Chains A and B, each alone.
Chain A
């Protein structure tokens, strides 16, 4: 299909995204996988763009990880979601912004369930009242954190210190984007651009000067998919999914992969090491991998934040080639220093995939 046709199609799938007073709920796993991404999101919103964001200290997991692993029933999940909404109601910040894609999908699923089955919502309200004494209102707006960055992408571009442009050649950097399955595959109208032509990450790359590369397996799952990795024996399916994507995108020689899900960047990053060890195959330039970034990390780079403050040193695939292309200066001697300047140690260097 021609690019013009795709753009015309995605334009039908738009959503309302609040522009301030966000109730932010963190992911269970992102702070371990990519530790600075959520902090960077808050820094951009509050320090750069002057938005109001509230985090509640009593927020818990949405239970999506248990629900999608078939260990928590939907009734329990709905009650836990109701409790998060109660915290939001108490805070007065009615624009609900989950950091996690699975949380976003789950909150959407619960709200849709309550919309179509009001008696279920009434039952959950009663359960929450009996269990905690709390009442709740539904969010005025539900948007994923990547939706917020998408909405504010041009404001970020106005403040950009670096562009997604090769500073040696002046050519736009080529990015491939990967959308988390729970963003728009379950409820296409809840995602910018729908399930087939999601625009949420494309919009960021284009606004910040880059070029998006279309590739055949663009919409394939990364392989995270709970059941595929929770049981060790099933992880062969997980790595096979990522491998299919790498083989599909590698001929287009992308400079980076951009993601908006907790699991996708983790698996697309770490599986490049595992595939290199198992089969000796690497997909980047000169025996290296393709750098994988979260949208907060990419926004942080564009805004000129220190790469090591963005946590890019915990990536398996080295990001230095991308930094060099963008012309971003970095101090290699500070790569493994903690926030207090203490040396954290250098990780083991793998043999099969080249790292900086």
Chain B
């Protein structure tokens, strides 16, 4: 095969017929302030865990809304529950309870 210098990029289209949004629905029922998130990223910018890992609450909320649960399940335990994101969030999302709600929802829906 000739060396083209690039490869075919992986398709990142999200198929909502295949992805379930049950986890997000369960989380939102437990912590409705998640609906106020505007994905500004202030939480991720102030996050201590994000300094050392790829953890990002902003990204997790987006993934949850898209039904892309796999990465959420593997990364949610990286949060140290320090609560700095909650102090910084301009929309007043209860981020600490949101993290706990995600963990509990995952257990309830037997994702683990």
Contacts and interface: CB of A to CB of B under 8 A. Distances in A.
Interface of A: 232-237, 239-240, 243-244, 274-275, 277-279, 352
A236 B8 contact: yes
23 contacts: A233-B5, A234-B6, A235-B5, A235-B6, A236-B8, A236-B9, A237-B9, A239-B6, A239-B8, A239-B9, A240-B9, A240-B10, A240-B11, A243-B8, A244-B11, A244-B13, A277-B2, A277-B4, A278-B1, A278-B4, A278-B8, A279-B8, A352-B1
Contacts of A244: 11, 13
A311 B36 CA distance: 58
A244 B5 CA distance: 20
Contact of A274 (B4, B9, B11, B13): B4
- Secondary structure type dominating chain B contacts: loop
B70 interface: no
Interface string B1-22: 1101111111101000000000
Given A277-B1, A278-B1, A240 B8 contact: yes
Contacts of A236: 6-9
Interface residues of B, number: 11
Contacts of B9: 236-237, 239-240
B63 to A, nearest CB: 21
Nearest to A234: B6
Interface in B57-105: none
Nearest to B12: A240
A104 B94 CA distance: 50
A233 B6 contact: yes
B2 A232 contact: no
Contacts of B6: 232-236, 239
Q: Which 10 A-B pairs have the closest CB atoms?
A: A236-B9, A240-B9, A235-B6, A236-B6, A237-B9, A239-B8, A277-B1, A236-B7, A240-B8, A232-B5
A275 B5 CA distance: 13
Interface in B1-53: 1-2, 4-11, 13
Q: Which of B2, B4, B9, B10 lies at the interface centre, i.e. has the most chain A CB atoms within 10 A of its CB? A: B9
Nearest to B4: A274
